[in-house]
């Protein structure tokens, strides 16, 4: 069985795929997949902590407003 690794800056939306200059590397080998897991993913996951959303009312409103305004940019 073959392993596949993809690494890059590609966002999966129409704007990124057709308008932006995005780049992705694809590696197709078990060894490459194992190295990525060992050296990149496992250490990152070990350091990860749960995120915390805005909890104060004004932070929630600001977050909601920014989310809506981003479509106008």
DSSP string spanning 25-62? EEE--HHHHHHHIIIIIHHHHHH--------SHHHHHH
d(Cα 29, Cα 17) in Å, to the nearest integer?
Answer: 25
pLDDT at 40 over 70: yes
pLDDT at 12 over 80: no
Residue 70 lies in a domain: no
State residue 2's pLDDT score: 66
Q: Which of 13 and 50 is assigned the larger pLDDT?
A: 50
Residue 30 lies in a domain: yes
**Sequence-separated (6 or more) residues with CB below 8 Å from residue 24:** 6, 7, 8, 9, 10
Residue 55 lies in a domain: no
Residue 73 lies in a domain: no
Range of the domain at 10: 1-49
Residue 65 lies in a domain: no
Residue 15 lies in a domain: yes
């Amino acid at each position: 069985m073959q392993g596949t690794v993809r690494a890059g800056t590609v966002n999966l939306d129409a704007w990124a795929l057709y308008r932006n200059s995005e780049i992705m590397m694809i590696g197709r080998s078990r060894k490459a997949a194992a190295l990525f897991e060992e050296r990149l993913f496992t250490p990152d996951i070990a350091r990860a902590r749960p995120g915390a959303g805005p909890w104060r009312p004004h932070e929630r409103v600001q977050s909601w407003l920014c989310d809506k305004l981003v479509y106008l940019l």
